[in-house]
Amino acid sequence: MRVDPEVVPRPRPDRRSAALHRAQVAVLARHAARRRPLTVVDVGSGRQCWGERLVAEFGGPVVGVDRDRGPRVRSGCEAVLARAEALPLADRSVDLVVMVQTAHHLADRRRAFAEAARVLRPDGALLVADAVGATWHELFPTALAAARRRMPDETEVRDEAASAGLCLAARGRLPLAPARRGSEIQVLVAAAVTHQIDTEIAAGLAALAADPERIYPGTVATLLVLGPAAVA
């Protein structure tokens, strides 16, 4: 089935995204070292790393790392083309590594966590949060099931992090963004690949067209705060 991008409704811009980003950064700050400035790495940032909000909160350099996006600087956030499994950063040079909606994309989570452990300072932290993030997924049951299968559970993350010398220090709750237009299309295409029936896709698209606000709701993910074993 051909997915027409224009069929998927575009969410109307408003203040919700800004409020969500403020709330997310506030949660991250509660689980970071109190001293300032802090050096922050956002793994899997794409082109939209939190940039100026992270700089404003932590006062130090912010580096967005993504494997599929070209290097660019956006809103005070330096973006680097690299893989989580091979961070181009010096040992013990980072205070906070953030992986939000990233772990399920990693080819080798153990290696990525080992890289996070390598670059973290002794009182640094790795923050991991992953979840299926919007109610509109429910309109595409086959895609929803596939997405859930990809998500690592807490036990997997803790075991893989432990192999890198990182232990659970705390848990939190992190609000996640609702899906946007590009993500919606990506899920629909992925659904077709997993043999989701055409009628299911058509019905889901019709429901979104009838109720565009359904795109907005996000979810709240469990945030795992992982630190070097000696200080966790």
Give the count of domains, the chain. 1
Which residue shows structure tokens 């432990």?
162
CA distance 212 to 228: 44
Cα angle: 206, vertex 211, 213; to 5 degrees: 135
Walk across the sheet containing 72-74 and list its strands. Answer: 72-74, 77-81, 59-66, 38-43, 94-100, 120-129, 219-228, 166-176
Q: Could you tell me which residue, 55 or 132, shows the higher pLDDT?
A: 55
CA 54 and chain centroid, separation: 15
The DSSP code for 40 is: E
Q: Where are the alpha helices (DSSP H) in the chain?
A: 16-30, 52-58, 109-119, 141-150, 154-162, 181-193, 198-210
Q: What's the CATH code of the domain at 127?
A: 3.40.50.150
Q: Name the pLDDT band for 178 (thresholds 50, 70, 90).
A: low
Position of tokens 């299968």? 149
* Domain hosting residue 104, numbered range: 5-228
List beta partners, residue 166.
228
CA dihedral sign of residues 177, 183, 187, 193: negative
pLDDT tens digits for range 11-65: 444 466 778 888 899 999 999 999 999 999 999 886 555 677 888 999 989 998 9
Give 80-83 contacts, CB < 8 A, sequence gap 24+.
83/107, 83/112
User: pLDDT band at residue 7, thresholds of 50, 70 and 90?
Assistant: very low
Mean of all residue pLDDT scores within the chain = 79
Query: Tens digit of pLDDT for each residue in 138-175?
Result: 777 777 777 777 788 899 999 999 999 999 999 999 98
pTM of the model: 0.78
CB 226 within 8 A of CB 126: yes
Res 152: pLDDT: 87
pLDDT band at 224 (very low <50, low <70, confident <90, very high): very high
CB 106 within 8 A of CB 112: yes
pLDDT confidence bin for 124, thresholds 50/70/90: very high
Residue with tokens 């802090």: 38
To the nearest 5 percent, what fractions of the chain are helix, strand and coil? 40, 25, 35
Percent of the chain at pLDDT > 70 equals 71
Choose between 130 and 204: higher pLDDT.
Answer: 130
